[in-house]
């Protein structure tokens, strides 16, 4: 069972926030952020929300694929920072694009786009033909803007892809989850139940992250994921045109490239202008590559991601669009 991406789209808010702008209210500097994380700018929501961005990205992906709302069999969404806890992002997208198909969300935090692809593959095996995948994140609502170690890293964006069943295309995947709620987490609001006697969790609704542990996990998970997925597909690293990684920190990408003996240019990096956009980062990067005509039909590329969970995944496939 295999699939191919037939349409890709993305959307970022128009407001761009530079490191210098952050330095006006945080004890940080352009020099520290550029050197330690590799980010110069990030896009941040002002009037728009996750649904707006996700709908724009979804429409762009459908236009790129040359399909209408009636051609979609299923919408699978993912967000950890949506406008609403319910209805799900996929239902909001379904309403706004005028589709009537089944729609639901899944989440694997920043790794979600790869888990969406794998879930789509499973639905192809029960007869579906075309699935819309959509990730949208407004991480600017999930970070504590007084916490310099988190606030400087993230940005807002949405990314979407139309995928179709295609058993002739290369598709191999590996996933890993090691249950952990210590390294990266967001606590839900405590609520006001008069019956709740447990102690209120710390910093509800703000992202909490142990930076160095995340860093170590990321380099290990991405480099072993890439090796394992290539071995499963009987391919070598020399067969791969591009690695399209989750964009979390430029140093993570550089370490991963070094471990695998790759040229830095082969490891796609958009982090300098967008920051870490969580689950949207891989479809956003793919859309930028598509717009810049970097991918040619038949190119082998590996997507690799890690995130809270701790979850990680790597998928090798071929670009199958003209």
Q: Which residue ranges make up the site for ligand ACO (CB under 6 A)?
A: 28, 32-33, 36-37, 110, 148-149, 152-153, 184, 209, 211-212, 214-215, 218, 248-249, 252, 276, 278, 306-308
CB of 5 to ligand ACO, least distance (A): 22
| Beta carbon nearer to ligand ACO, 81 or 249 | 249
Task: List the catalytic residue out of 43, 45, 150, 246.
Answer: 246
Contact between residue 181 and residue 306 where contact means Cβ atoms under 8 Å apart? no
Structure tokens at 69: 């709302």
Longest Cα–Cα distance in the chain: 61
| Beta carbon nearer to ligand ACO, 29 or 96 | 29
Structure tokens at 222: 């991405």
| Beta carbon nearer to ligand ACO, 21 or 299 | 21
For this structure, is 246 an active site residue? Answer: yes
Q: Closest CB to ligand ACO belongs to which residue?
A: 211
List the beta strands (DSSP E) in 150-255. 156-165, 171-180, 184-186, 207-209, 242-245
CB of 23 to ligand ACO, least distance (A): 9
| Beta carbon nearer to ligand ACO, 28 or 317 | 28
Q: Which of 128, 102, 122 is nearest to 173 (CA)?
A: 122
For this structure, is 276 an active site residue? Answer: yes
Task: List the catalytic residue out of 11, 110, 135, 150.
Answer: 110
Residue 74 neighbours by CB under 8 Å, 6+ apart: 101, 102, 103, 120, 123, 128, 131, 132
Per the DSSP assignment, residues forming a β-bridge with 131 are 74, 163
- What separation, in Å, do the N-terminal and C-terminal C-alpha atoms of the chain show? 22
Contact between residue 221 and residue 312 where contact means Cβ atoms under 8 Å apart? yes
Residue 157 neighbours by CB under 8 Å, 6+ apart: 10, 11, 12, 13, 43, 53, 136, 137, 274, 277, 280, 281, 284
For this structure, is 234 an active site residue? Answer: no
| Beta carbon nearer to ligand ACO, 62 or 218 | 218
CB of 281 to ligand ACO, least distance (A): 8
Q: How many Cβ atoms sit within 10 Å of the Cβ of residue 57?
A: 28
CB of 30 to ligand ACO, least distance (A): 10
| Beta carbon nearer to ligand ACO, 148 or 241 | 148
DSSP 270-311: -HHHH-B-GGGHHHHHHHHHHHTT---TT-EEEEEEEETEEE
Task: List the catalytic residue out of 249, 276, 287, 290.
Answer: 276
Q: Which residues are catalytic?
A: 110, 246, 276
């Amino acid at each position: 069972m295999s699939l191919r991406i037939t349409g890709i789209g993305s959307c970022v808010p128009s407001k761009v926030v530079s490191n210098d702008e952050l330095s006006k209210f945080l004890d940080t500097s352009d020099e520290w952020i550029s050197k330690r994380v590799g980010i110069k700018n990030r896009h941040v929501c002002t009037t728009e929300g996750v649904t707006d961005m996700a709908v724009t990205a979804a429409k762009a992906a459908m236009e790129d694929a040359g399909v209408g709302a009636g051609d979609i069999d299923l919408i699978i969404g993912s967000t950890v920072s949506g406008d609403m806890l319910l209805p799900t992002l996929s239902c909001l997208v379904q309403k706004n694009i005028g589709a009537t198909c089944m729609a639901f969300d899944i989440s694997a935090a920043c790794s979600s786009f790869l888990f969406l692809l794998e879930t789509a593959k499973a639905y192809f095996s029960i007869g579906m033909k075309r699935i819309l995948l959509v990730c949208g994140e407004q991480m600017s609502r999930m970070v504590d803007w007084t916490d310099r170690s988190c606030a400087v890293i993230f940005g807002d964006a949405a990314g979407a892809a139309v995928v179709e069943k295609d058993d002739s295309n290369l598709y191999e995947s590996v996933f890993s989850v090691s249950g952990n709620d210590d390294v990266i987490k967001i606590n839900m609001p405590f609520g006001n139940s008069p019956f709740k006697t447990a102690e209120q969790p710390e910093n509800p609704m703000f992202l909490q992250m142990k930076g160095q542990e995340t860093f170590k996990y990321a380099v290990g998970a991405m480099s072993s994921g890439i090796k394992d997925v290539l071995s499963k597909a009987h391919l070598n690293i020399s067969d791969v045109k591009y690695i399209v990684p989750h964009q979390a920190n430029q140093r993570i990408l550089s370490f991963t490239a070094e471990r695998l003996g790759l040229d830095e240019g082969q490891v796609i990096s958009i982090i300098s202008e967008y920051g870490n956009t969580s689950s949207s980062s891989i479809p956003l990067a793919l859309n930028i590559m598509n717009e810049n005509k970097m991918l040619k039909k038949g190119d082998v590329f590996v997507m690799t991601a890690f995130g809270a969970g701790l979850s990680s995944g790597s998928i090798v496939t071929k670009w199958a669009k003209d």
